[in-house]
Structure 1
Amino acid sequence: MFRKLLKGIIAVACLIGFLYVNNNWLSVTNHTVESSEIPSSFDGYRIVQISDLQDATFGENQQRLVNKIKQARPNMIVITGDLIDSNRYDLPNSLALIEEIVELTDVYYVTGNHEVATNDVEHIKEELTTRGVRVLSNETVNITRDGMSISLTGIEDPLNGATASQMIDSSNVPNDAFSILLAHRPEDFQSYIDAGMDITFSGHAHGGQFRIPFVGGLVAPGQGYFPKYTAGIHEGGSSKLIVSRGLGNSIIPIRLFNLPEIVVVTLKSSSIK
Structure 2
Amino acid sequence: MSRTKRWLLIYLPAAIVLCIYFLYAQNNSIVISTYKVASDKLPSDFDSYRIVQLSDLQSKEFGKEQRPLIRKVQKLDPDIIVFTGDLVDQRHYDGEASFKLMEGLVKIAPVYFARGNHERGARGYSSELEERLLALGVHIMKNAHEDIPIGDGVFRLVGVDDPTYNHRGDGDADKMNAHLAEALGDTDGSDPFTVLLSHRTELFPVYAENGIDLSLTGHAHGGQIRIPFKGGVFAPGQGVWPAWTDGMHELGASSMIVNRGLGNSRFPMRLFNQPEIVLVELIDERSAE
Same fold (TM over 0.5): yes
TM-score normalized with structure 2 length: 0.91
1:14-93 to structure 2, matched below 5 A, reads: 14-93=18-97
Residue 179 of structure 2 is aligned to residue 164 of structure 1: no
Q: Name the counterpart of 1:270.
A: 285
CA distance in 2, matches of 1:157, 1:119: 16
The one-letter code of the counterpart of 2:257 is I
Q: Which digits, 9 at most, give the CA deviation of each residue in 1:132-162, with x for residues without a partner?
A: 1000000111111355111111000111125
Identity %: 42
Q: Name the counterpart of 2:171.
A: none
Q: Name the counterpart of 2:227.
A: 212
Shift of residue 271 of structure 1? 3.5
Q: Name the counterpart of 2:261.
A: 246
CA distance in 2, matches of 1:201, 1:3: 52
SS of 2:27's equivalent in the other structure is: helix
CA distance in 1, matches of 2:8, 2:271: 26
Checking the alignment, whether the CA contact within 8 Å between 1:37 and 1:269 is kept in structure 2 is no
Shift of residue 268 of structure 1? 1.1
SS of 1:116's equivalent in the other structure is: helix
Select which of 125, 129, 134 maps to 1:129: 134
Where does structure 1 lack aligned partners over 5 or more consecutive residues?
A: none
Q: 1:203 to 1:147 in 2, by over 3 A?
A: same
Runs of 4+ that moved beyond 3 A:
none
Shift of residue 31 of structure 1? 0.5
Which is greater in Rg? 2
Residue 5 of structure 2 is aligned to residue 2 of structure 1: yes
CA distance in 2, matches of 1:154, 1:43: 25
Shift of residue 59 of structure 1? 1.2
CA distance in 1, matches of 2:252, 2:208: 7
Q: Name the counterpart of 1:96.
A: 100
Q: Which digits, 9 at most, give the CA deviation of each residue in 1:173-199, with x for residues without a partner?
A: 554111110000010001100110011
RMSD over aligned CA atoms reads 1.4
Q: Name the counterpart of 2:198.
A: 183
CA distance in 1, matches of 2:207, 2:126: 25
Shift of residue 229 of structure 1? 0.8
